[in-house]
Every structure is written in C-alpha cells, then in structure tokens.
Structure 1
C-alpha cells in the first residue's frame, strides 16, 4: 500500500509537467523494495485520477465545449463557433493515439518500457522542448487552432505511448513549434488528453480484472485517489508558471535525469 501511495503521489506530481509521468513510475519502480516495473496497466489506471483532475479544473470549459458541439448539430450554435470547433479538434486530435495504441499495444506494454529507451526519450525530447520554447513564435491563441494543427498535436500526443516522451511535453512542444502561446499550447494539450487517457485507463481497468498485476485493486484505487488530489494542485501551479516563465528548468531536469539513468544502467545498478 505504501509503495502504491508513493507511486500515486509521483503520478499526480509529474503527469502535467513536461517530464513524463510514465517514465517516473517506470524508474521509481526499480528503487522500491520489490524492484519491479509497476506495469503499463497500473500507470494507465492511475492516470484516471490525474485526468479527473483535468475535468474538475477545466469543468466550465468542458461543459461549454460539449454543449456548443452538440448545439452545432441542431443549429442552436453556429458551426464555426470556437467551442464547437474545439469539440471537433479534440475528436480529430485523439484519433492518432487510438490508432497507434491499438497497433502497438504489445510493444507499449513490453519493449518500449526498456529504461534505455526511457532515458533516451527523456534527453532527446527534453532538447526538442527546449529548442521549441526558444524558437517558437508564441503568438497564436487557442481560438486560432486549425484542424491540420489539431492533427499534428494528435500525432505528438501519440508519442507519449513511449515512456520518457511525456504526454504534456510532446503536445506542448508541437504547439510551440506551430507558434502557439505557452498557455494555449498547454490548455489544448490537457483537453486533448481527456478522451485518450480515460479510454486507455478504463480499457486497462477492465483488462486487469482477468490478469495478475503488481498491485491489487485496493492499492491501485488508493494510488489513483492520491494522483487526483496532487494533480489538481499541480495543474494550478503549472498554468500559473508557464504564463511567466520558460520551460528551461524542465528541460534541464529531463536531461539530468536521463543522463543519470544512463549511468545507473551502464554500471549495472539497475536493470533495463
């Protein structure tokens, strides 16, 4: 139970920062008494907690988007209404991760969880995030988001299926490369994650009923609750932070963490 609570805390702490929560759970598992990977299922289920935090934090936005999207079918809301468009953008942007998640499910749950890959992704995508933050125009607002850009966001989000990339980091990086403001890039990244995370989480939840897992249902539920509470606080902090600061601290952290994992793997302290 203590291990699960620790993992839930780390999940909530890292899910919304561009440093990859799945990488942290994968790495942390090596240092807990059992010294084992918590598993893709545990990670996906605990993400239900952090994604519920997104729903709570952006509740008014979500209700408005959903109501305007449905209203656009009846003519009550114009088809070009920004919130109705956002509904379509979230749907379109969610398609890539669904397709890749189904096609590469076995690799996602096994091969891609190698710590060599995790460390590499932390460093490589940390550098890309830094370059995007430095070079991006940061002029476009969220209401200027186009459908092609929504698809590109979706492909960036699908890379988060690899531990170390980061769901928020990958999508925010794409937003910055496309010229969007930091806050706009992060806001769409969080909204875009809702269908994918809930879909993956509930799929793994049902699947876990018939398969053995590292942590039982009570421990997993407790970890998910902790992730929800911590996630709410982190979203509030992060949205405030990026309106005034760059992503440089997160870039440095990713590179240092990735380098440390390389050293630990190379010396045999931990196993890939």
Structure 2
C-alpha cells in the first residue's frame, strides 16, 4: 500500500505542473497494474502537497501580490503587482463557473481512457503550434484583463481529463505573445486559487460524508507530492528556455499513443 501511495503521489507531484497531464498519467497504474483508486481523501492530500509546493516556491511573489491586492481593495494604491493579482483573480473565474455548472457531466462522461488519450494528443499538438507562432515578448505583468480572461478560459478547458492545466495555460500564454518563462510563472501563480478552491470543495464533501480519514496515507501523500512538485517547478523553470516545449510535445504524443494502444487492447 505504501508503495502505491508513494508512486501515485510522485506522479501527481511531478505531472501537476508539467504540460503533460496528470490525469493521463494517473490512469496508467489503474489500467496497467490494476491498482484501485486511492479515494477522495488521497486526492485531497496530493493536491494539498502540490499547493504547498507552489506557495513555498513563489512565497515572495505571493506575499507581494497579496499585499498589493489588499491595498488596491482599500483604494490606497494600484500598481503592476495589484493588476497582476487582479488578473489572477479574473483568470480563476471561468474554471469555477464551468466546474460548478458542468463538473458532474465532465466527471460522468469525460473520464474515459479514450477522451484522456485524445486530449493528450490534441492539446499537445496545440502546444507545439502555439510555441512555433509565439512572439515571446510579453511578461506576466502585461497580461491585461482580456489576456487574463483568455488564460482563465484555457484553464477551464483543463477540466477535460488529459488536457493538462499547465499545458493549456502555457499554450494560451504563448498565443498571447508571452515569453515561455512568463507564461509558466503566470500558470503557476494562477494554479494557487484553483487548486485551493477545488481542494476545499473536495474536503468539504469528505467532511459532510463522514468518511474515515486514513491519516497515515494522507500524511505520506502530502509529503511526497510536496517534495516532487517543488522539484518539478524548480527544474521546469530552470530548463524551459534551454529545452523549450518540444520535449513535452513529443512526450505527450508518445503517451497518447500508449493510451490508445492500452484502450484498444481492452476492446
């Protein structure tokens, strides 16, 4: 059991912030190895670990943005940091709306292996096209409300399993003319409220259902996903300008092919 927990937490931590789809990877152990779903409590735990990792890595930026945002609310000051903070708030809205209105439909009809495999390939090709056409000139402070809304709509698309939240928001950022680093940083920052809200919703459901908490599993999941997500964020930002996005595109195409092969073998 501990081996299952460690591997799944590592997968979640490493793939949450890479443009390669965590849902596409999490389906493989259950399909190939017959592992059962660890349950909602474990899902909350690994997402908490990912949230803590991105908060720790961007702790200075988050503190600065939070202070600037609170000052702008009081009408004391409106600057580049407060505008970026408001852009992140605006970018969170579309995914929340789509999740509330269509979350049940997505969970019931779009969690099949075929959908995940198709999204892995299609959105991987879209990332390749966006990178090829990218102008790479804007930073995250030049997003503007229209850009923030577009990035938020892209994040809402990530509710389709296999899309990759990091991948589709990076794609949208490149389409807006952002540099790879700026698009990645904005993607990481906008993940904070959406992971927090999604995790809070799941945790509320657990509490209301009276589910018995496997605290040892939860603790292990949090620690492993935190460490792996932190390493992932650091390495991704350090290597992104050097290697670009094509290694992730090729990886997605290969992963999609494997998923199609696996699903075809189950027919």
TM normalised by structure 2 equals 0.93
Structure number with the higher helix fraction is 2
Residues 128-149 of structure 1 show CA distances to partners (whole Å, capped at 9, x for unaligned) of 0011111111111122111000
1:176-195 to 2 correspondences below 5 Å = 176-195=174-193
Partner of 1:151: 149
Give yes or no for the alignment of 1:71 onto 2:71: yes
1:31-73 C-alpha deviation (Å, 9 max, x unpaired): 34x4344567744542221121110000000000110111123
After TM superposition, the structure 1 = structure 2 runs for residues 15-164 of structure 1, keeping only pairs within 5 Å, are 15-32=16-33, 34-38=34-38, 42-77=42-77, 79=78, 81-164=79-162
Q: Following the alignment from structure 1 to structure 2, what is the Cα–Cα distance between the partners of residues 226 and 130?
A: 31
In 2, Cα distance between equivalents of 1:46 and 1:83:
30
Tell me the CA shift for residue 171 of structure 1: 0.3
**3-state DSSP of counterpart to 1:161:** coil
Question: Which secondary structure does the structure 1 equivalent of 2:138 belong to?
Answer: coil
**Contact 1:22 / 1:43 at 8 angstroms: preserved in 2?**
no
Give TM-score, length-normalised by structure 1.
Answer: 0.91
Distance (Å, rounded) in 2 between the aligned partners of 1:172 and 1:244: 16
**What is the CA RMSD across the aligned residues, in angstroms?**
2.1
Q: Unaligned 5+ residue runs, structure 1?
A: none
The whole-number CA distance in structure 1 between the counterparts of 2:209 and 2:28 is 23
Q: 1:92 to 1:178 in 2, by over 3 A?
A: same
Question: Per-residue displacement from partner, 1:175-233 (whole Å, max 9, x unpaired)?
Answer: 001111000000011111111111101211221235598x9443233212210111111
**Structure 2 gaps, min length 5:** none
| Distance across 2 between alignment mates of 1:158 and 1:216 | 31
CA distance in 1, matches of 2:262, 2:31: 11
Do structure 1's residue 4 and structure 2's residue 5 form an aligned pair?
yes
Deviation at residue 234 of structure 1 after TM alignment: 0.9
